[in-house]
Structure 1
Amino acid sequence: MANEADPRPCDIGHKLEYGGMGREVQVEHIQAYVSKPPVDTGKAVIVIHDIFGWQLSNTRYIADMITGNGYTTIVPDFFTGQPPWHPSYDWAAFPEWVKTRNARTVDKEIDAVLKYLKQQCHAQKVGVVGFCWGGVAVHHVMTKYSEFRAGVSVYGIVKDFEDIYSLKNPTLFIFAENDAVISLEQVSLLTQKLKEHCKVEYQVKTFSGQTHGFVHRKREDCSPADKPYVEEARRNLIEWLNKYV
């Protein structure tokens, strides 16, 4: 889910059979998945999950991919113990369900995780990546926290708020052309507003023919037509972090 003003459901896509190479830890009031590179680089990335929660194997797969590029990576439970959405639930209840999980009220959890990364993982530079619901959260924190050297918001968009275009640091926005949740009109409006108000580096990139969730909910071998876009988007994500974190 990405559009807070007009919430509609997400298809979970391909659920990867993936166990992860990290471990689960307790960070104050939050559970989290943490993976670390072989050599400490002083760099860390917070990954903010989608509506399917912090334990989704696909999200941990992406977190470990980021770790493989030299970052301590953490996937906290931003639902703080509340159950994530499950594909078997009645979609008619989704609008009310998502109201109880506001992606723009994650500051308490962000503060706790930043403290953990600095004190326990010796992180000196931190980035943030989020998908869908988490993409909305990334957009929010990049307007509030100058501590994040870079952000990557993947198919997350915030509407009807005037305070969302003054980003603190470089932010990459990734969208899908055929997204049933986020229209190209919304992406165009975001781009226009950023041009008018944003004073830092940013990029808005839309991938042809792709659907919501393609970056982390499609396998690399999903189809010959989609594979290059999945790989390019993931590469762009890493390149953005490498450039600015």
Structure 2
Amino acid sequence: MKNRSDLPSIPQAAFDWYDEYAHGDIDRRTFIRRLSTLGVAGLTVSAVSSALLPNYAMAEQVSFNDPDITAKYIEIDAPSGHGKAGGYLVTPNKVTKDNPAPAVLVVHENRGLNPYIEDVARRLAKAGFVAFAPDALFPLGGYPGNDDEGRAMQKTLDREKILGDFTDAATYLKSQPITTDKLGVVGFCFGGYVSNQLAASWPEMINAAAPFYGTPPTADLQSIKGPLLLHFAELDQRVNATWPDYENALKTLGAQYEAHMYERVNHGFHNDSTARYDEKSAELAWQRTLDFFNQHLS
């Protein structure tokens, strides 16, 4: 949704309600009912909801058929999680066992491996990294094709087993002959939390973590070392409320971190499939992320 000039400005309340809906605090019916109370000239409930809900046709920046990369779905052993895990592996075509590249684990939001996250993995491969985006919903058959059902499915899974799947995915990446011994992780929303948690629980395995609007680790915080590159959205009250205590802990621990607050943008501003997307901030955050990985994983 890089260009929404066809719509009047969407009130901030609508973004806040969408955030509540996306994180399970209200159901879809309540979300739509609240939208109907806006009464903004030129905006209908249908127009607002279609702008806020994902349109994944808008999210592709790097094609599956890009000649510089190879993308495929794979299955791996995940003894720390659900026994088996699966996801989307994307490799630069120039990478071989004689010319390995650093790897980046990509962690999706709270709804499974949707097309936006797959595109993020392709963007990383296009930039020269071996990227793997596991699907937490793999034990249930994988991402179902829509976020509502995916969100409901992910809520039924044990979070510790999900973390185990991602940990084993990280181990898999590091063990591949086409990857170096350097591994980064980037995640969004729930994936931002997972990125923080992996950096805390497995500091020797994660060489650089770049969480986007993620909450702090819930365990092993005392072990976190960094480096961390943390991205926050100024209007994201829910996640931002957790940052002061997290930052104080990072300072106390002497962890290496860099944090950026992007002005006048909402939670999910990097996701270019909805009206929350802010092109300027998203591109700046992404370039910072690539520079960060190039610095710490090369």
Instruction: Specify which of 192, 196, 200 is matched with residue 248 of structure 2.
Output: 192
Aligned mates of 2:147, 2:165 — CA distance in 1:
28
Following superposition of structure 1 onto structure 2, how do residues 1-80 of structure 1 map, counting pairs within 5 Å? 8=25, 12-17=53-58, 18=60, 20-21=64-65, 22-28=71-77, 29-40=84-95, 41-54=100-113, 56-80=114-138
Question: Alpha carbons of 1:97 and 1:126: their partners in 2 closer, same or farther (altered >3 Å)?
Answer: closer
| Secondary structure of the structure 2 residue equivalent to 1:148 | coil
TM-superposed CA distance for 1:69, in Å, is 1.3
- Return the structure number with greater relative CO, CA threshold 8 A, min gap 6: 1
| Counterpart residue identity of residue 296, structure 2 | Y
| Counterpart residue identity of residue 24, structure 1 | Y
Does the Cα contact within 8 Å between 1:63 and 1:75 map onto a contact in 2?
Answer: yes
Aligned mates of 1:139, 1:230 — CA distance in 2:
20
| Secondary structure of the structure 2 residue equivalent to 1:231 | helix
Aligned mates of 2:148, 2:255 — CA distance in 1:
42
TM-superposed CA distance for 1:109, in Å, is 3.8
Answer 1 or 2: which has greater helix percent: 2
Which has the greater radius of gyration? Answer: 2
Count of residues in correspondence between the two structures: 233
Question: Alpha carbons of 1:16 and 1:194: their partners in 2 closer, same or farther (altered >3 Å)?
Answer: farther
**Structure 2 partner of 1:173:** 230
TM-superposed CA distance for 1:25, in Å, is 1.1
TM-superposed CA distance for 1:44, in Å, is 0.7
TM-superposed CA distance for 1:53, in Å, is 0.8
TM-score with structure 2 setting the length: 0.67
Instruction: Please list every run of 5 or more consecutive structure 1 residues that lacks an aligned counterpart in the other structure.
Output: none
Question: Alpha carbons of 1:194 and 1:170: their partners in 2 closer, same or farther (altered >3 Å)?
Answer: same
TM-superposed CA distance for 1:67, in Å, is 1.0
Aligned mates of 2:160, 2:234 — CA distance in 1:
23
TM-score with structure 1 setting the length: 0.79
* C-alpha RMSD of the superposition: 3.4
Does the Cα contact within 8 Å between 1:127 and 1:148 map onto a contact in 2?
Answer: yes
**Structure 2 partner of 1:201:** 256
Aligned mates of 2:257, 2:182 — CA distance in 1:
19
**Residues 188-209 of structure 1: CA distance to partner in whole angstroms, max 9, x if unpaired?**
2222221122x33211211111
